[in-house]
Amino acid sequence: MLTAEPAGGPGVVAGLDVDVGRAVHTLTKALDYVGVDDKSHGRRVGLLCHRIAHALGWSKDRRHHVLLAGMLHDCGVSSTAVHQKLVDEVEWKDAEQHCIRGDLFLSSFAPFEGYAAAVRHHHTRWEHLPEALDPSTREHANLIFLADRLDVIYAAFVLENPYHLVLLNRDKLIGELREYVGTLFCETLFSALEEAAKKDSFWLELRDEYLDDAIFEVLSSEDYRISLGFDEIEALGELTSQIVDAKSPFTHYHSLRVADLAYSLAGLVGYDQHTMRLLRIAGLLHDVGKLRTPDEILEKPGALTAEELAQIHSHPLDSKRVLWAIFPNTPIAKWASEHHEKLDGSGYPFGWSAEQIDLPTRILCIADIFQALCQKRPYRERLSVESVLKIMDKMADAEQIDLQVYAVLKDNRVPLYQIAIKEGAS
């Protein structure tokens, strides 16, 4: 058995404390990666909902609720192709699919369950919303729909024009939605939008340099700070991993299986439960940056071009940016962002050599490689465990992966292979 030192140093404590509002904000930043070139859509929609709700005279609780629901509204969108369709068309015929998926994701995580119904119906016409829905939920869903469509118009405008012109064209931008009042959108909500939009701040706060400050001003309220226990944090990790892995049919359950492999390997190496669970969270979230990778790259059946590889090489840093924000006093972001490093310095994005790569990162690296080779991919079928080990033997011979951790994996190849190829949730 290897000697496993406590991981992460003095910053690691027995429990984790995550603010739900900030967790929603950070998850939304990750979801906004799907837009590739527009990295703030979800956050803008959330803020627009909040500002329109203020014009409606809604209570502080309702304003806070629609801010978070608005930020989470696209959690069912992992595909860049789907995102583009939602941008291109006011009413895309297949929009409901991501609403259903978002409802399922949010319903699976208790702290987010209250936002699920509004997200489920956020592309449903006002005139078609089910009468059985709670009146507040009907308004929340339609407000998200209205804010979402306004933001698409806004984003297209500022992409083509100097920003200050948005203040001179606010009536024109809103006017593009007026024909849909009474059908797509509730008249009362639209009137509140017109009132809110009279303030310059309504538009200026949507700029990236002001957006997060405006959101955090709302989230700073102690009234809405709820701490998550370790079990809930793992559940949040599993929710996020489902969103990431849904990006491609070839990556279904990859993050979950990597997490389970890393957890098992860490236990076999001799780590305590706390470190094992931290490493499992890192495994669940290690590929969150891939939300920014275009679908066609992940699903390409042949070799990637140099340009495509360059795009792939950025995803660990995108993951690090998200995870530092959620788990600032843990090694989770470090481990996740270094899972493509190699002991000989040939990895990416940092090009670390052996002395710079700690043992948990080495475990996560091996878990990721092993699971990816065990999983069916667009360019090949699933490999047998012996075929996988032949490939990894070459990596071991080249001293790219940790020899001791790899020896543990080989000694436990049968049960670990079963973890790697398991379908469905744990």
Measured in degrees and rounded to the nearest 5, phi and psi for residue 220 equal: -70, -10
* Contact of 405 with 366, CB cutoff 8 Å: yes
User: Could you give the CA distance from residue 421 to residue 318 in angstroms, rounded to a whole number?
Assistant: 27
Q: In one letter, which amino acid is 211?
A: L
Dihedral (CA of 85, 91, 93, 98) sign: positive
Q: Is 286 helix (H, G, I), strand (E, B) or coil?
A: coil
Sequential DSSP letters for 185-235: B-HHHHHHHHHHTTSHHHHHTTSHHHHHHHHHHHHT-GGG--B--HHHHHH
Q: Rounded distance, CA 326 to CA 330, Å?
A: 10
Q: Which two tokens stand for residue 29?
A: 């930043």
DSSP helix/strand/coil, 425? coil
* CA dihedral of 240, 246, 252, 253, whole degrees rounded to 10: 10
Catalytic residue list contains 290: yes
Closest listed residue to residue 235, CA positions, set 107, 47, 141, 390: 107
| Residues labelled as active-site residues | 290
